[in-house]
Structure 1
Amino acid sequence: MKNVKSLYVTFAISIFFIVTIFMSISATFSYVSTKNSIIENMKESSENTVNTLKNNLAILIPSYAVNDYTNLLYNEIKNKEIFAIVVKDYSMGKVVGKEAYITGKIRQGDNIVAFDTKNKSHVSSLKTCYYKKEFDIKSMLKKDLGHITLCISDEKMKKELHGIIYKTINNTILISLFLIICLFALFHYLLMKPISKIISSLNNTDKDGIPINELPLAFSKELNLLAITANKMLYSIKSSRNILKKSESRLKYLLEMSPIAVRIAKDKGTKVVFSNHTYASLIKEDYVIDSDPSKYYKDKNEYKQIVEKIKNKEKIFNRLVEFKIKDKTVWALASYMSIKFDQEDSVIGWFYDVTREKNLQKELTNQKNEFEAIFKYTKDGLALLDLQSNFLKFNEAYLKLTGYTKKELLTKSCIGLTAIEDKSRTQEAINDVLKDGSKINFEKSCLVKDGRTVRVNMSLVLLPDKKTILLSAKDITEQNIIQSQAKLASMGEMIGNIAHQWRQPLNIISTIASSIKVKNEFGQKVELDDLLFDMTHIMQQTQYLSKTIDDFRNFIKDTNEKEVLSIVNTIEKTLVIIHSSFLNNNIKIIKDYEDDIEILGYENQLIQAIMNILNNSKDAIVENVLDDDEKIVYISTKIVNKELIVSIKDSGKGIDKNNIDKVFEPYFTTKHQSVGTGIGLSLAHQIITEHHNALIEVSNCTFTANSKKYKGACTNLIFKI
């Protein structure tokens, strides 16, 4: 800031100059007037002197009264402001033999001396005097008597004029000082003091440089108006600041809470001065301020290029950048622009973490590749259908399943390759896919190229584009044969169970009938009450026989429709079927039903699976346990973590650890060929996992029942709630 003078000094100088100018004008006027007045007086005085000298010298010269007229000259010079009077006396000149006798008086300092023609100073003074008047003295007859030279000096005029100048200067200084003092007092009291208070109030500021208090009011109207106007401005500034602070707080809060990472860096983008929590989380640092953001970029030159573009006033939006943070790769969509922060050029950056999306994209790419590999090389037939079931794409396994070439199959449809008896069901299945999004484990008969019919298990899923259906088909023709074999085996065992179950009721009926016949043959009267009692007993046994027939019929009846069923009720129905077999082998079944759920499933298939598991337990117990007290099967149900676990434990000593991982393989068995086929647990695994979306696990375990410990196999069926 340039050096500036105090207002007091400026005001004093201004007053001094104004007074000086005014006094100079006045002094000039006085000087000119005085000078003119003096000159007029000098002229008037010289005229009077000339007249006096003319009259007197015209008498004295002819009388040769030199002394008398020299005295007259002396008196004239003395009494008047005359510098010198020189007389050329022609009469006296004739006496002395000269043209003229020259005499006179002249001032020399404070004295009046005789004029000396030989005194160069006298002669020079006459030549340089301020005012000179010369005239001739004539007689009455107009005869020349002499010549007078009268000189008037300007010393008096100079003295008076110098006095005027001196007086003017003194007056100017005095008046200036007086005015300065008076006006200074008024200026200080009326102007500077209020202004000083205003300045003091303006200097008393808060951290934002805004005055804390209002400006004080003064005596003058103008200063009051200034203070009022300034106070209005201050109020407006404070209000604006409050609004800005609120906006700043909201903005800062929004930035802090923003899920998008934000950071501001100055010094050409090399020093972080602001960052929000999301940015700190993004770069895995607790403290970010003053750090160099470039160190987090995998490619340091990339950030230099970004800063260079920002320097050239370019803006960058949604640029994918790669960070290397603590040996981990982090991807972000970044935007940059130049801003002013604390009055300095800075670079602001926004970062949206897309690492998860990037990894998902990579994972999706991998999954796509995996899907394409699976689609191409899986043993199951895969095909893509349009909504009318026309084939769009398929893998080699599907071509092999149908026997058609690629060109031939592209002209076919899934409905068209369906056996007549299953076409209606297949169309309904596709409609279910369009409605619900999927159809799982749907079985149908498929017509293939060579005229054969194969049984397939299909799952259909509507893809996200809502225009394509993914079909997975598996040839279960051989599997159905296995199931039929298993069912036949179960039916054979069930027939044996029925034979055991019917033996006692038939014996009871036979005994009652024989008793009535004997009584009749011996002529004994059969009482009506006894007859009714026997008939009731016979009816009970026939109802029991009828129920066993119904159970057998329900078991052998095939159904492709799922129904709502209770897990515990299904177990109970299974136990009814195998009851006699277990009873004949002295195997005790302990039931502990803690929980139960209902599922959508195939009851007969589930009975088949549970019966196969129980038969495996029965065979293990019969083979490995001799003591009837040790023959136990323990069945329990319990809900754990939103899953119903059906646990079937037996006391059959367990499964060899070398075989436990093979128990679900088709045709795997450790039994004699006359006892087992090796398809029971394999079929159970398929029914549980594929048809009921559940899990089956087998392990060896030790369990307690009736306060006694047992060792054997444990099979868990896990149903999702």
Structure 2
Amino acid sequence: MLQTTKSKSLYYILGMSFFTIISIILIIQSTVNYIHTKEELQKSVINDINVSSLQLDKSITKFIESYQITEYENLIKNEMYHNSLLGIEIEDYLTGKVMGEKSYKTGFYRDNKLDKIIPLEFEDNNYSFENNADYFHKKETLLVNSDNEIVGKMVIYANNYNIDKELKQIIISNIFISFIIYTFISLILYYLIKQVLINPINKIITSLSYKKDDEIIYSKIDEHSSKEFSFLSNSINNMTKQIQMFNKELKESEFKWQFAVEGNGDGLWDWNVKTSEVFFSKKWKEMLGFKDEEISGNFDEWEKRIHPEDLEQVFKDIQNHMKGQTNIYLNEHRVKCKDGSYKWILDRGVIVEKNEKGEALRFIGTHTDITQRKLYEKQMKQALAVFENTHEGIMITNSNNEILNVNSAFIRTTGYTLEEVINKKPSVLKSSLYPNEFYEQMWKDLQTKGFWQGEITNKNKNGKLYDEYLSINTIKNKNGKIDNFIGIFSDISILKQQEKMLMQQARTSAIGEMIGNIAHQWRQPLSAISTASTGMKLQLEMGINPSTEENLNTLEKINEQTQYLSTTIEDFRGFFTENMSDVTEFDVSETIEKVDELVKDAFKNNFIEVKYDIEKENYLEANKNLLIQALINIYNNALDALKTKSIEEKKLIFVSLKKKDSKIIIRIKDNAGGVPLEFIEKVFDPYFTTKHQSQGTGIGLYMTHQIINKQLQGTISVTNSTYEYEDNEYIGAEFIITL
């Protein structure tokens, strides 16, 4: 035991008191300075992010409203060059709605170590500002447009990095000042310390033994005349005894430590095979959610936690190693955690001590948590199953657009095996239907937008053409360089055939509508011809000889009506016989006039007035008859709706043609009361109709949608419009076509 005295030396009291007082003063001064400086710096940074929030608010709101994602991403990226900002997150509700998501998220964060501005990637969900050591404050701002609608949210995170740098400088400065003060004090006390302490200590040191053959030899130190050094001598003598006792234990613990290091710092276990005692390291227990004292050192503690399905193989591998059949014990199994869940463990071990019979006495090893690796392997297997079993064809290429892999659906659709297309270009599927400019634009979109999608006709191994809907996406690495292209396509040949049948069905339906219009248009000319010819016949039968001039006038009237009928026949024949794929440049205003000629008698007979507001010379390069068919379908839809109104009610159709920003806008609206809200989203669906079966097939507006969107590369929409005309308020459906 150490010998102690009740009194303390005056040297000890004065020295420790002096150093304690100086230390307390320096610590208080440094702490106050540190806190004050930190508060001021943080206020400055918070002010900076408030200013940034005000500056960005309106600009980003405008960009969100105009769906200019790139513009506001560039804006916030430039703002990120302020060192006060750790990151900016934007939630774009409008773009998210277009994409079918709650919001579109984007943003950037500052990597202070790399001094880089890096885009946020939300799919991984691996980055959190709150977990960033440099984060200390955030500013959330709802982005509200001029209509007081919330279109997004902006969050700005403050950067603590520069604050920490300045604070570290303060700490270093305080340490330097303290070092100067302590150095000065040390110089003053040096002489006294040397005389009072150093010389007696040197005598003690020389009394200590030396190290020989990696073993420390100790001898007893003689007591000193000084009270303090007598105490120190006795303390050292007692410690040497304890050191000798712990020396053997130290060698054993050192071996455990070395093996733990070699095991990459994972959980360590040390199994005494003979006694079934096991040492489990603190890390081993924490890995399973236990505190150090919650697991005893028994073999059963480990055995009972192994998953029942894995237990047999675990002991089989242990026995194989004990029999010398393997160099190390190695097994992957599941171990039960404190919360009842299981973790996958990579268990490795080796026998380090055997008896004279070669039987294992001591077995040590490590536990490595491989749960994430197993989860990743499972996900990879699932991804592989999807890749191989999906109905969509998948093709993966490298950055040089050379095929690396294809799935079973690709093989079924194209007829090519993986061996036949590997390292080749996707152009092996290329048909001769598209000019080089088509593929150049596709490649340009991939390079600039990162994706391309659309309908395309390709050629299979047998030379047969097939239609597909193709989506190509670029895969980039962390440096922003393209690593791969992934193409996913669906064979839509059957769908295209069905669309062709629907088009033919719609065309047949249009023929029926046209025949009705012909009947209306021919009724008056035929009546005039019949009247004129009957008059001439009666005059001849009654012996009346009309003059030559009268006969010529009558024949001229018959000829005029006959020419009108001939012109009408040519108009209808042209509509039904012209090639629907021919593309010419034509004036849309003249096309609307042509449609009016075809339907005006049907409208007149149903007391419908058509009001036109047409701008001339609006030219479009497309198939004229396709546009005529689309417009006739809309006209007929309005006609059917207005037929339900009584004769006393005013029946109106308004048609306007304008040009805006190089786009041709056609608006057609009626006053039939509009489309019921529960049906308005379905009006362009195939076979959808609110009419009786005898009045419609439900494909007219569907084909109009297909013609405008796919074949004329435009857009069409429908809304219920409320408007005033001649001091009366009307409600009706309004179709808006943009070409």
Give the shorter-chain TM-score range. Answer: 0.3 to 0.5
Instruction: From the CA coordinates, give the structure whose radius of gyration is larger.
Output: 1
Q: TM-score, normalised by structure 1?
A: 0.43
